[in-house]
Structure 1
Amino acid sequence: MGWDHAAEEHKYDDIRMLVHHRSRVHPPMSLWDRAAQFSPFAALSGHEDAIRETARLTTERAELSESRKEELNEQLVWLREHPDARERVTVTYFRPDAKKAGGAYVTVTGAVKKIDEYEKTLWMEDGTVIAIEELSAVEIPGKDRYEEE
């Protein structure tokens, strides 16, 4: 009772040379759609997104020294007193991540529109609102020029 190779080779000889049927009504399926029928079923939907999210790196917020906080405060006071110097300020701040612990340090350059002492926020002209407690650096180009005047 072995496997009969000869019988297996000639199993479909009777239909091999027949012309393949083509519908006159339905267009043939594209190779892309045909391949999609055999793609693996995604039993764990969202699993790849979860893995990608876990792999995404975040940075921990650095704790600023008291002297650095004081320096930042002095720069904000100076900016409040010199509104004409607000045109081109570079601000680096910590943006907490919405989905996981940590965040990223972001640097923006532009005009400071408003310093809100009550809300403790810095409003940039492009619409960016920065919590003052998240600031890590404020660079004011040409600050010396304003102090000489």
Structure 2
Amino acid sequence: MSNYDDIINMPHYVSKIRKPMSLQNRSAQFAPFSALTGYDEKIREVARETSKKIELDDGIKLMLNEKLCLIKNDIKLRPKVTITYFVRDNRKENRGRYKTITLNAKVVDEVYKRIILIDNTIISFDNIIDIKV
């Protein structure tokens, strides 16, 4: 005689108040969980590669300024330019990535110190590190 002989053959209890839980909800009780909320996302964010913005010396700034003047003088011809520039990262302070784009120039705006390309991409002069005309 075992300890459970008195209950082993009893019918399974079914609640009259609550509906039976779905199989999906029952299995979710045993699913793995993250003990530290947001930890995985933080690890992915730290692993994401970004760069510091390069500070240009005066000689390179002068060369870029001359190229921008050439583009401005030929702006009616919509010259094709290849620009490498810094794009700030929204999540990491003082970090970002460098992007190179080749398109036709539309406007060289000296007032706001920016160049606008044919697809309306706006690039600040301060973020440009290279221009090829």
Q: TM-score, normalised by structure 2?
A: 0.74
Unaligned residue ranges in structure 1 (runs of 5+): 1-6, 8-12, 16-25, 141-149
Q: Which residue of 2 aligns with 1:130?
A: 123
1 or 2 for the larger relative contact order (CA 8 Å, sep ≥6)?
2
Which position in structure 1 is the counterpart of 2:109?
A: 116
Residue 57 of structure 1 aligns to which amino acid in structure 2?
Answer: E
Q: Does the residue aligned with 1:111 lie in a helix, a strand or coil?
A: strand
Q: Structure 2: which 5+ residue stretches go unaligned? A: 3-7, 11-18
Change (3 A) 1:126 1:33: farther
Compute the displacement of 1:39 (Å). 0.9
Aligned residues: 126
| Equivalent in the alignment of 1:92 | 84
CA RMSD of aligned residues (A): 2.9
Structure 1 residue 51: Cα displacement: 1.5
Which of 71, 76, 86 lines up with 2:68 in the alignment? 76
Q: Which amino acid counterpart does residue 43 of structure 2 have in structure 1? A: I
Maintained 8 Å contact 2:52/2:95: yes
Greater Rg by CA: 1
Please report the TM-score for the alignment, with normalisation by the length of structure 1: 0.67
Identical-pair percentage = 35
**1:39 paired residue number:** 31
For 1:89 and 1:106, locate their aligned partners in 2 and report how far apart those are by CA, in whole Å.
14
